[in-house]
């Protein structure tokens, strides 16, 4: 039954990805709306998948597979919420395949990971929820930044045939990016703090791990971005690049964490 | 009755000929009345714009009406109606309908997708209505043409790509700033192009406008016209710190805005983006300034390229629009023929039911049936027989409208059963339809 839910969810995300790719070449309102509907249905299917595992007695965040499943679900939810306020159709073209990739990876984690982590401590699951939401928020911020950089480059080079008319203006994209970083940063900070507290409670746990180093560095980069944005007026292309770099750091943390679970210390 | 279009346009007649044939606004009332008096013409309207002069008519004698209207137009240009030299075109029936839909949807316009034509067609129709030159067929046709025009605008992007320099400039500014109500606009120079661009911005919501010019009086005049305020030319540097959109169109031989000026303005603005449109030749803005981060500089060549790109996009959208128009023409023709069939079906049914009730009454009387139940049963049987007999003919009459095999089933039914064409009924249906709109 779990395999059935999984297959349906993967199928729906694949369909959403295909429609969004079509949207990249055929940017009409109809295609954008259709893609969004399919993504929403995929989101509901994904919720059903998570619900199924809960019904089976597993914590939704248990194991690496649970974390990846949850992260990809939050990512899609964030994309849909962002879409309620701003019509950035091409965002789905980046988020749908990313969510699909995370979901597919979660499937492979089932066979390779050890017995599901029994996330009994509040700090443990709180850290994982915050981490998933932080990854999602910064993934969205980075995706918006990529759209900004593309549009900005097309305008700067006067490649007007490449300028996407269906995307909001640069000023709006900059604002959206700013808001996403503003929302994501405190969440990420809470993830970091709760992670530190949780780790101190684990017996014989080493402190020097690459993912911790990158997590700290990413936090620093994003803190600088936030201060620079609000105090020093950092905006536009530079802010977009910093958002992308910050997200890549967080992504590396996730990759290292998953890699450690799969390959061992 | 047939639909007929006779006219000339920018595609078939030069400006001089169109000027001779064209009608002024105050001539239209009499002109459309004159057209209605021509041989074979039952209903008419006259469309006269700078790019076309066309008469849309409903006629009962096609060739006579076609010649009469051609002669009417040619006489104004001093051209022989027997040899108009390709200047005059004529379309009838389906081709006429297609042409009218295409004109209203701006597919036949000089700039495809321009939005003035539908208003001009509506105005011409209003003039014809007022002169009582229209009738049910032309009214149906024109109302549908306006619906199709709206459909083309909403279902395609034919009108979304700006086709003039000033509107292209505003469209590009819209790629940087979402809300023009929150941007500061600086106009340098008081020329026509600059004014056009600023008017487009005002239409798009801009309300913080400053105008500067070496001649302060001209700056004041322009600022009054666009709802802004004039600033002295010497303050140009400090105005760049305020303005988000700059439109420059002066006659200066040297650049007025240098790279250094913009770099300094950006520093004070904390890198808030600035969008510059330089419509002047020679340029008012140093081209090197465009390489600065957060500066978007477009000169006249860039805007002309933008317009060319937009026109290409419009032509591409026009293909979709043409398919939409073709589909609507078929739907309208089908609907028209169905409208012809409905009164015939009703008349047939009424005639048959009348006969059936009469015979049922006679039979009830012969059988001495006094009870209500018995009479109802006889009546019910008679109606059931009528319904069953008319079932297939009704289906075929309705379906028959889709088959273009040259057989008009509605007319054949009228002839077979001796039904009259009830014109009063049609006019009443039309006028109640008009009132409900």
Note whether A173 and A239 are within 8 A (CB).
no
Q: Which long-range contacts (CB under 8 A, 24 or more apart) does B230-236 make?
A: B236/B188, B236/B212, B236/B261
Name B365's Cβ contacts closer than 8 Å, sequence gap at least 6. Answer: none
Tell me which of B160 and B146 has the higher pLDDT. B146
Work out whether strand B184-188 and strand B245-248 pair parallel, antiparallel, or are unpaired: parallel
Residue B409 φ/ψ region, left for φ over 0, alpha for ψ in the -120 to 50 degree band, beta for the rest:
alpha
B128-144 per-position pLDDT tens digit = 999 999 988 899 999 99
Give pLDDT, residue B233: 92
Tell me which of B433 and B203 has the higher pLDDT. B203
Work out whether strand B295-299 and strand B245-248 pair parallel, antiparallel, or are unpaired: unpaired
Give pLDDT, residue B437: 43
* Contact list, A165 vs chain B (CB under 8 Å): 160, 175
Other CB atoms within 10 A of residue A57 CB: 7
**Residue corresponding to tokens 């597993």:** A58
CA distance, residue A76 to nearest chain B CA (Å): 26
Name B33's Cβ contacts closer than 8 Å, sequence gap at least 6. Answer: B131, B133
From the CA atom positions of chain B, what is the Rg in Å?
A: 32
**Residue corresponding to tokens 């589909």:** B327
CA distance, residue B113 to nearest chain A CA (Å): 17
CA B242/CA A18 separation, integer angstroms: 45
From the CA atom positions of chain A, what is the Rg in Å?
A: 19
* Contact list, A178 vs chain B (CB under 8 Å): none
Q: Is A177 an interface residue toward B (CB < 8 Å)?
A: no
Note whether B30 and B88 are within 8 A (CB).
no
Sign of CA dihedral B40, B44, B46, B51: negative
Give pLDDT, residue B420: 67
The token duo for B418 is 């001796």
* Residue burial B87-106, b: 16+ Cβ < 10 Å; e: rest: bbbbbbeeebbbbbbbbbbb
The token duo for B125 is 């129709």
Give pLDDT, residue A222: 87
Note whether B79 and B174 are within 8 A (CB).
no
Note whether B109 and B51 are within 8 A (CB).
yes
Lowest mean pLDDT of A115-129, A147-161, B196-210, B255-269, name the range.
Answer: A115-129
The token duo for A4 is 């059935």
Sign of CA dihedral B413, B419, B421, B423: negative
Which residues between 155 and 174 in chain B have a beta carbon less than 8 angstroms from any beta carbon of chain A? 157, 160, 172, 174
User: What percentage of chain B exceeds 70 in pLDDT?
Assistant: 93
| Whole-number Cα distances in Å, A25 to A156, A162, A195 | 22, 11, 43
Question: Once rounded to an integer, what is the mean pLDDT over residues B239-249?
Answer: 94
Q: Is A165 an interface residue toward B (CB < 8 Å)?
A: yes
Q: Is A235 an interface residue toward B (CB < 8 Å)?
A: yes
Give pLDDT, residue B427: 45
Note whether B44 and B36 are within 8 A (CB).
yes
**Helices A170-201 & A210-230 angle (0-180, nearest 10):** 140
Q: Pick from A171, A172, A233: which is nearest to B271 by CB?
A: A233
B6-35 per-position pLDDT tens digit = 999 988 888 888 888 888 888 888 899 999
CA distance, residue B307 to nearest chain A CA (Å): 10
Give pLDDT, residue B433: 46
User: What percentage of chain B exceeds 90 in pLDDT?
Assistant: 46
Which strand (E) or helix (H) includes residue A230?
helix A210-230
Q: Which residue of A has its CA nearest to B267?
A: A233
Give pLDDT, residue A264: 65
Give pLDDT, residue A197: 85
Note whether B318 and B111 are within 8 A (CB).
no
Indicate yes or no: CB of A172 within 8 angstroms of CB of B270: no
CA torsion A186→A188→A192→A194, rounded to 10°? 70
The token duo for A222 is 């994003």
Give pLDDT, residue A111: 44
**Helices B300-366 & B93-104 angle (0-180, nearest 10):** 130
CA A147/CA A94 separation, integer angstroms: 10
Give pLDDT, residue A17: 95
Name B101's Cβ contacts closer than 8 Å, sequence gap at least 6. Answer: B144, B145, B148, B149, B325, B328, B329
| B73 SS3 class | helix
Other CB atoms within 10 A of residue B69 CB: 27
| B282 SS3 class | coil
Indicate yes or no: CB of A155 within 8 angstroms of CB of B175: yes
| B246 SS3 class | strand
**β-sheet bridge partners, residue B55:** B6, B46
Name B50's Cβ contacts closer than 8 Å, sequence gap at least 6. Answer: B18, B22
Q: Which residue of B has its CA nearest to A27?
A: B157
**Residue corresponding to tokens 């059936």:** B356
Per-residue pLDDT at B407 exceeds 60? no
Other CB atoms within 10 A of residue B407 CB: 10
Give pLDDT, residue A209: 75
The alpha-helical segments, DSSP class H, found in A86-166 are 89-112, 122-156
* Contact list, A28 vs chain B (CB under 8 Å): 157
A30-45 per-position pLDDT tens digit = 899 999 999 999 999 9
| CA-angle at B246, arms to B243 and B250, nearest 5° | 135
| A57 SS3 class | coil
- ipTM over 0.90? The verdict is no
**Enzyme catalytic residues of B:** 50
CA A54/CA A32 separation, integer angstroms: 33
What is the pLDDT confidence band of residue B428, given thresholds at 50, 70 and 90? Answer: very low
**Most B CBs within 10 Å, among A32, A33, A158, to test the B interface:** A158
For chain A, how many helices (H) and strands (E)?
Answer: 8, 0
**Most B CBs within 10 Å, among A162, A169, A227, to test the B interface:** A169
**Residue corresponding to tokens 């032509």:** B315
Indicate yes or no: CB of A236 within 8 angstroms of CB of B306: no
Mean pLDDT estimate for chain A: 85
Q: Is A156 an interface residue toward B (CB < 8 Å)?
A: yes
Q: Pick from B157, B176, B309: which is nearest to A171 by CB?
A: B176
What is the pLDDT confidence band of residue B196, given thresholds at 50, 70 and 90? Answer: confident
Question: Once rounded to an integer, what is the mean pLDDT over residues B321-343?
Answer: 84
């Amino acid at each position: 039954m779990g395999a059935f839910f999984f297959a349906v969810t993967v199928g729906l995300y694949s369909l959403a990805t295909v429609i969004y790719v079509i949207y990249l070449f055929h940017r009409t309102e109809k295609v954008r709306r259709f893609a969004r509907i399919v993504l929403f249905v995929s989101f509901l299917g994904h919720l059903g998948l998570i619900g199924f595992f809960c019904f089976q007695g597993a914590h939704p965040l248990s194991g690496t597979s649970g974390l990846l499943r949850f992260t990809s679900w939050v990512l899609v939810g964030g994309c849909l919420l962002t879409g309620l306020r701003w019509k950035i159709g091409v965002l789905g073209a980046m988020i749908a395949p990313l969510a699909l990739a995370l979901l597919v990876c979660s499937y492979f984690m089932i066979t390779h990971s050890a017995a599901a982590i029994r996330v009994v401590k509040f700090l443990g699951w709180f850290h994982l929820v915050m981490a998933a939401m932080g990854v999602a928020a910064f993934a969205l911020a980075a995706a918006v930044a990529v759209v900004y950089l593309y549009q900005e480059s097309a305008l700067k080079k006067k490649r007007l045939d490449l300028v996407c008319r269906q995307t909001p203006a640069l000023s709006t994209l900059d604002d959206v990016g700013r808001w996403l970083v503003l929302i994501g940063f405190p969440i990420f900070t809470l993830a970091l703090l709760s992670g530190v507290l949780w780790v101190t409670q684990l017996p014989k746990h080493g402190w020097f791990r690459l993912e911790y180093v990158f997590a700290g560095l990413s936090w620093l980069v994003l803190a600088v971005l936030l201060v620079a944005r609000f105090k020093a007026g950092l905006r536009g292309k530079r802010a977009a690049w910093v958002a992308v770099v910050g997200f890549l750091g967080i992504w590396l943390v996730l990759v290292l964490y998953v890699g450690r679970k799969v390959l061992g210390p | 009755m047939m639909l007929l279009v006779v006219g000339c346009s920018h595609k078939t007649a030069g400006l001089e000929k169109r000027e001779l044939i064209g009608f002024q606004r105050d001539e239209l009332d009499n002109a459309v009345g004159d057209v209605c008096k021509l041989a074979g013409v039952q209903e008419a309207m006259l469309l006269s714009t700078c790019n076309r002069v066309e008469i849309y008519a409903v006629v009962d004698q096609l060739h006579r009406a076609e010649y009469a209207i051609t002669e009417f137009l040619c006489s104004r240009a001093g051209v022989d109606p027997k040899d108009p030299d390709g200047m005059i075109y004529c379309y009838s029936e389906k081709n006429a309908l297609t042409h009218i839909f295409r004109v209203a949807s701006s597919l036949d316009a000089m700039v495809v997708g321009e939005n003035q034509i539908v208003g001009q067609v509506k105005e011409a129709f209003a003039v014809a209505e007022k002169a009582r030159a229209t009738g049910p067929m032309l009214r149906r046709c024109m109302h549908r043409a306006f619906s199709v025009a709206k459909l083309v605008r909403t279902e395609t992007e034919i009108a979304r790509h700006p086709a003039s320099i000033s509107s292209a400039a505003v469209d590009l500014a819209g790629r940087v700033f979402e809300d023009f109500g929150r941007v500061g606009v600086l106009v340098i120079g008081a020329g026509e192009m600059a004014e056009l661009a600023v008017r487009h911005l005002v239409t798009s919501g801009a309300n913080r406008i400053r105008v500067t010019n070496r001649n302060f009086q001209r700056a004041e005049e322009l600022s009054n016209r666009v709802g802004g305020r004039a600033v002295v030319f010497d303050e140009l540097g400090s105005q760049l710190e305020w303005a988000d959109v700059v439109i420059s169109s002066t006659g200066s031989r040297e650049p007025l805005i240098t790279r250094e000026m913009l770099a300094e303005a950006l520093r004070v603005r904390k890198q808030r983006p600035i969008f510059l449109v330089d419509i002047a030749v020679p340029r008012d803005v140093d081209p090197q300034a465009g390489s600065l981060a957060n500066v978007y500089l477009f000169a006249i060549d860039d805007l002309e390229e933008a317009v060319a790109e937009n026109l290409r996009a419009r032509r591409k959208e026009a293909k979709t629009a043409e398919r939409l128009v073709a589909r609507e023409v078929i739907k309208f023709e089908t609907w028209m023929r169905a409208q012809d069939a409905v009164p015939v079906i009703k008349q047939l049914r009424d005639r048959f039911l009348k006969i059936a009730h009469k015979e049922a009454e006679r039979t009830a009387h012969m059988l001495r049936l006094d009870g209500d139940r018995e009479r109802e049963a006889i009546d019910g049987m008679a109606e059931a027989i009528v319904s069953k007999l008319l079932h297939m003919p009704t289906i075929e009459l309705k379906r028959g409208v889709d088959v273009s095999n040259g057989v008009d089933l509605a007319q054949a039914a009228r002839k077979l059963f001796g039904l009259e064409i009830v014109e009063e009924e049609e006019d009443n249906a039309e006028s109640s339809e008009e009132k409900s709109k």
